[in-house]
Amino acid sequence: MDVCFEILVPIQSEIPKVRFSQPSYEWDGVLYPQGPEEALFEYFKLRKSTVPDHISSFLPIALQKCKWQCISVVEGLDEFNNRILDINSNTAIDIALLSDLLNALIGHEDKWVVVFEPDCDRVDEVSKGSIADVVEQILQSLQVEKKGFIIWYNYGF
């Protein structure tokens, strides 16, 4: 499954519940950084990356002016999808895990953006919403009809 799934938080944000570190390679007693910072959250692999260029134009003006850091979910969506489709699996646990991931990344933020693009090339809907809305839209897109979306939140806006 080819899906682009990014979470944008303000650049100055601290994410205390997820521990990011930069992979490194040691050679002759010296550590050499190897790519962007990464983290694991259960079976989801996260990577700090650049904000996709096309996303800004979809956002309200107030959010376009923000400086964002981007956290991409680079692994784990296939496993998540397989688990929620498995009739022998307890899907409530996996749905709660996705909700926990989002809460750990954005639950404490005053503003955030979630981008979910099946096939990494389509945004069908842009709306203001909550973490619960993001979880519901992801489930709909994976189980019912592929649909790309951007959901943003800006406290007081």
The pLDDT value recorded for residue 34 is: 83
pTM of structure:
0.91
The pLDDT value recorded for residue 24 is: 84
The pLDDT value recorded for residue 141 is: 94
Task: State how far the Cα of 150 lies from the Cα of 134, in Å rounded to an integer.
Answer: 9
| Helix axes 131-143 and 91-106, enclosed angle (nearest 10) | 130
Task: State how far the Cα of 76 lies from the Cα of 69, in Å rounded to an integer.
Answer: 21
| Tens digit of pLDDT at every position of the chain (157 positions) | 688 999 999 999 999 999 999 888 888 888 888 889 999 999 999 999 999 889 999 999 999 999 999 999 999 999 999 988 887 778 888 999 999 999 999 999 999 999 999 988 889 999 999 999 999 999 999 988 999 999 999 977 6
The pLDDT value recorded for residue 2 is: 83
The pLDDT value recorded for residue 115 is: 97
Of residues 12, 11, 34, 30, the one with CA closest to residue 22: 34
The pLDDT value recorded for residue 103 is: 97
The pLDDT value recorded for residue 32 is: 86
